[in-house]
Each structure stands twice: as structure tokens, then as C-alpha cells.
Amino acid sequence: MAEFTMDLNDDQKQVRDWLHGFAKDVIRPAAAEWDEREETPWPVIQEAAKVGIYSLDFYAQQFFDPTGLGIPVAMEELFWGDAGIALSIVGTGLAAVGVLANGTEEQIGTWIPQMYGDVTDVKVAAFCSSEPDAGSDVASMRTKAVYDEAKDEWVLNGTKTWATNGGIANVHVVVAVVDPELGSKGHASFIVPPNTPGLTQGQKFKKHGIRASHTAEVVLEDVRVPGHCLLGGKEKLDERLARSREKAKAGGGERVKNAAMATFEASRPAVGAMAVGTARAAYDYALDYAKTREQFGRPIIDNQGIAFQLADMRTQIDAARLLVWRASWMATTGKKFESAEGSMSKLYASETAKKVTGQAIQILGGNGYTREYPVERMHRDAAIYTIFEGTSEIQRLVIARTLSGMPIR
């Protein structure tokens, strides 16, 4: 088992520098344009595919790095370039991980390549869990999946919302209720293959930030998918449901509900790393600006009022990265999050990104408030990190419950 270390090995350094180069030379220069266009940056995704960054191989290599640092290092660099474009590049990976984690080998081999497409015809994938009435409260999900035994098909009905790449994805992974009595334990995930009738895109959201990333409703009307599209297979689902029913009978109802909030615990450090990338981008920009902008005959960084802000920004970014790396290392090496370390990392990194990008605007003065300078966009982008993959309030709830053992509401 890998010991925790902050020393990246030579391979990791090489990957980090390669990604940084792509972020600096390809992503950052395209950021303002795609933010204004509010469209998926297909040409940039294609560039990423050409060099091997937009691929399952790359994602899996980072995911299975035994030190746990592969994913956080990659996320930080790509999101340093631009959050909206980077989310368009890694959004498919989030759906792919859903299949890697729950799918059979055959499902992984069949569907993940279709999520990415190929260099000449890149595709994206979407992970659809949230619903209009089931955001933080995942257990109140209503989208239903009913098994049609005669045809060996599942029939999906419901409305998903906030789906990154929803409606434009080649492959959608949809979470649906198969047993409403069991809360989130009665959910299962399904692949909806390309061009399946009944799946349509609803409203596309016009957002505050990460505007290069497509976010939309996904409407499912009598969507029929073959039995083999149930991730993990029917036998495994039936066993899991039977176990959950036994537990619920034995009075495990509250535990069933609490488990919903812990579901994404392991993926949260990755979102923390995205936030660290955005925060570092704004800090880097503000530091350079403060050294060159002169007022009262000297650079503004000569004032403690500015220099101390930068000192605090950098300290908080480094602290956030440490929490993210610790949580990623724990998750990869199979250490239990006894103190909700995954949630801690996401909470602190996302709040840091919001704060630091706001300070960067202040340091740039009037320029910081315009779209001519990137910190304004970074501040809008940073606001997403305290919302998706569990809001800051939900992270605090998970941490407080874990630490106290009390059913805090």
C-alpha cells in the first residue's frame, strides 16, 4: 500500500507538466470565447482527444494511480486552464466512473468506448441523478425503472435535471428507483444507449459560470433499454435489494437514508481538486498583476494590504490541496473516512475557491470586474464548487454526523 507522500514521482511530474502545458496553451486561450458562446467547446475536446487527454486510457491511468494523487493532480492542472472547458473534458469521465464502479466487465468494454467516441468523431457522456425535487435529498428521487420480464427490458420514466452533457451525450447513465420503499438503497443505474427513443433534452440552462459546460434537463418517456443495460446485472441487483429489505425490516431505515449522503464521499476529493485549480489560477493572475500594477509610484504589492491578502490566498490554497491529497490517498489505499475526510476536502477547497477568486477581483480593482480579465470568469466559475456533488451545507452535515454519531438535521 502506498505511503502518503507529497513528493510526486517522475511519472507524475511528467503528466502534471504535460497537462499544464495543454491547459496553458490550448485551454486558457479558448476560455473567454467559449464562456461567451455558452456552448460545448467541441474543437478543444477534439484537441484533447488528439493528444490523449480525452480518453478512457488517460482517465483510468490517473484513477488507478496507487498513490491516489493521479486524479487530483490532473484535475488541478486542467481546471487551472479553465473550469468550463475542463468540465467539458472530464464530464464524460464522471459518467465513465459510474460504469467502472458498478458495471460488469462486458458493460465496461461495451459502453465506455462509446462514451468517448474517437479522435475524428468525439462523443461525450452524461451522468443523470439529480431531479427537480431530488437535489440534496437524493433519496426522494422519482424517476422509475420497471422491469418488463416478457421482453427483458427496463422501462424508464421521469425527468432528470442539471445533467452535465444531458441530451447531447452519446451515452447517458441514469439513476432510477426500482424499489421506492428502500430510499436510496432502492436505486439502480442504467445505461441509455445512443439514439434510444423517448430520451429527449429539456431545458438547457443559462448559467452564472462554467458556461462552456452544457447543463440540461433530460426527459425520459417510456424509454426502453435492454436488460443488459442495468449496471451490474439483475442478479446482483436482486441480491442487494433483498439485503436492504432485511436491514430495513431490522430497523435500519435511518441508516438507509444516511447512506445516500455518503454515496459520493469518495468522488468528492476530485471536485476539491478542481476548486484548487480555479483558486490557483486566480491567485497566480492576481500575484503577477500586483507586482506590475503601480499606484502611488510603486507596485500595489508593496502594500501589506495587498501582500497579506496574497499570503492568505496562497496559504488557503495549499491547505485545501493537502486536504484533497489526503482524502484521495485514503480513498485509493482503502482507508475508511472515519472523520468524513472526503467531505472535508471538498468543503474547504470549494469555499476557498469562492473566497480566493473574489479576492483576486479586488486586487485587480476595476479591471478585475471586467470580462477583459479572467478573474471575473474564475469567480463566476468557482461558485459551482460549493453546489454540485453535494452543497457545502450537505458536506457539513456529513462531517457533523460522522464526528458526532448524531442524526443532525
Ligand X SMILES: Cc1cc2nc3c(=O)[nH]c(=O)nc-3n(C[C@H](O)[C@H](O)[C@H](O)COP(=O)(O)OP(=O)(O)OC[C@H]3O[C@@H](n4cnc5c(N)ncnc54)[C@H](O)[C@@H]3O)c2cc1C
Binding site for ligand X (CB under 6 A): 127-130, 135-136, 162-164, 207, 210, 215, 384, 387-391, 393-394, 397
> Residue 346 in contact with residue 390, Cβ under 8 Å?
yes
Instruction: Give the residue with the Cβ less far from ligand X, 164 or 350.
Output: 164
Query: What backbone phi and psi angles, to 5 degrees, belong to 352?
Result: -65, -45
Instruction: Give the residue with the Cβ less far from ligand X, 71 or 212.
Output: 212
Among the listed residues 217, 265, 389, 393, the single catalytic one is 389
Tell me the residue type at 278.
Answer: T
Candidates 388, 379, 330, 327; CA nearest to 353 is 379
Centroid of chain to Cα 194 = 23
Only one residue has cell 499570503, namely 311
Q: How far is the CB of 196 from ligand X (least distance, A)?
A: 18
Candidates 360, 400, 403, 354; CA nearest to 380 is 354
Candidates 185, 92, 206, 186; CA nearest to 144 is 186
Q: How far is the CB of 1 from ligand X (least distance, A)?
A: 32
Give whole-number Cα distances, 18 to 71, 78, 143, 233, 285, in Å. Answer: 14, 10, 42, 39, 20
Q: How far is the CB of 370 from ligand X (least distance, A)?
A: 24
Candidates 264, 285, 253, 256; CA nearest to 357 is 285
Q: How far is the CB of 187 from ligand X (least distance, A)?
A: 12
Instruction: Give the residue with the Cβ less far from ligand X, 128 or 256.
Output: 128
Coil vs helix vs strand at 352: helix
Instruction: Give the residue with the Cβ less far from ligand X, 188 or 363.
Output: 188
Instruction: Give the residue with the Cβ less far from ligand X, 333 or 391.
Output: 391
Q: Which residue number is nearest to ligand X in terms of Cβ?
A: 135
> Residue 336 in contact with residue 285, Cβ under 8 Å?
no
Q: How far is the CB of 143 from ligand X (least distance, A)?
A: 11
Q: Reply yes or no on whether 294 is catalytic.
A: no
What is the 8-class DSSP label of residue 68?
Answer: S
Active-site residue list: 389
